[in-house]
């Protein structure tokens, strides 16, 4: 997970000086996302440890030109807000869907104590095409499902 965080942080810095031929710019990539914590009750067997409270991010990446690179794949999602550690989780490969015009996926892990219901969070979706890897950014408001 530290490797993914380092990759996301490095890509954020590299994106500041990105040229017009970057993956995000050349395809006009944009994203929409939603994030929520799952506070639904769950049943446990006797002696079973409780599950962590899940934080789930669902996202869609689109291209301005209407077509995405044939080999584009999502790698990880990071959520962050000022003055707190980033939440970084790999994208679930079994929940990734791709069409010629959109890439949809889900990242899920345990909640971050740094985030609260209603927080506005920055979302960085790490995508890769060939040797190029960049973050597609958007914002979300964190909701609780209960």
Architecture of domain 2-18+26-41+51-145: Sandwich (2.60)
pLDDT averages per 10-residue partition of the chain, 146 residues: 47 43 86 92 80 93 85 96 94 93 95 95 96 95 91
**Every domain of the chain and the residues it spans:** 2-18+26-41+51-145
Cα distance between residue 23 and residue 15, in whole Å: 10
pLDDT, position 13: 38
pTM comes to: 0.81
pLDDT, position 47: 85
Cβ 91 vs Cβ 111: under 8 Å: no
**Cα dist. 71→6, 103, 110, 129 in Å?**
23, 11, 29, 5
pLDDT, position 17: 41
């Amino acid at each position: 997970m530290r490797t993914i965080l380092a990759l996301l942080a490095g890509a954020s810095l590299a994106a500041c000086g990105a040229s017009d031929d970057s993956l995000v710019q050349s395809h006009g990539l944009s994203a929409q996302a939603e994030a929520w914590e799952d506070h639904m009750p769950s049943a446990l067997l006797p002696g079973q440890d409780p599950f962590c409270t899940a934080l789930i991010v669902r996202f869609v990446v689109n291209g301005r030109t209407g077509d995405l690179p044939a080999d584009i794949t999502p790698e990880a999602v990071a959520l962050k807000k000022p003055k707190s550690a980033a939440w970084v989780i790999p994208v679930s490969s079994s929940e990734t869907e791709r069409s010629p015009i959109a890439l949809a996926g889900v990242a899920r892990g345990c909640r971050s104590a740094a985030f609260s219901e209603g927080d506005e969070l920055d979302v960085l979706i790490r995508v890769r095409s060939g040797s190029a890897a960049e973050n597609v950014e958007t914002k979300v408001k964190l909701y609780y499902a209960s």
